[in-house]
Amino acid sequence: MADLDDIYNERIFELAAAVPHAVRLEHPQATARAHSKLCGSTVEVEIGMDGDRISDFGQTVKACLLGQASAAIVGREIVGTPADEFRTVAATMRRMLKEGGPRPEGRWADLGLLEPVKDYPHRHASTLLVFDAVERALDQVQGGAKERGPAAAPDAAGCV
């Protein structure tokens, strides 16, 4: 099991302190929110699309340190990302945390900093909020064809 110092390290604090795209968009194509009922963390995102690529992004993050760090990495990398690539990264994050799967690679590799969270299932929901919100927004733009899970995972618990 990972030590809490592995989770709450200096790099996670640095990321959480500088969440990019923390603005509202003037004309978003979609807005979506994800909320953890148990810890109170909330991430709301707005996206603009150009074809299949995310061309504009804004986020309001009222979350614990892990939710902030996750949102910071997503905010840094998301603009210019094809929707399918984002969905693949989101699925990789879920597998990494819930099944011990591999870390995201390439420009998304910093998400691997959150791998120690896998040992703390009650922290998964807050770490994944930004992914849930962005996928809901993508569903709105792409016709809502894909069904998403609840805003907060049932194993969610308090946040730090």
Both tokens of 124, joined, read: 């998964």
pLDDT, tens digit (0-9, with 9 covering 90-100), for 56-114: 999 999 999 999 999 999 999 999 999 999 999 999 999 999 999 999 999 999 999 99
pLDDT, tens digit (0-9, with 9 covering 90-100), for 21-62: 999 999 999 999 999 987 889 999 999 999 999 999 999 999
- Residue 133 reports pLDDT greater than 50: yes
Backbone angles phi, psi at 146, to 5 degrees: -105, 135
Structure confidence at residue 37 (pLDDT)? 85
Q: What HEC string does 1-25 produce?
A: CCCHHHHCCHHHHHHHHCCCCCCCC
In the chain, which ranges are continuous DSSP H helix?
Answer: 4-7, 10-17, 65-77, 83-99, 124-141
Question: Which residues partner with 31 through β-bridges?
Answer: 46
Structure confidence at residue 128 (pLDDT)? 97
- Residue 157 reports pLDDT greater than 90: no
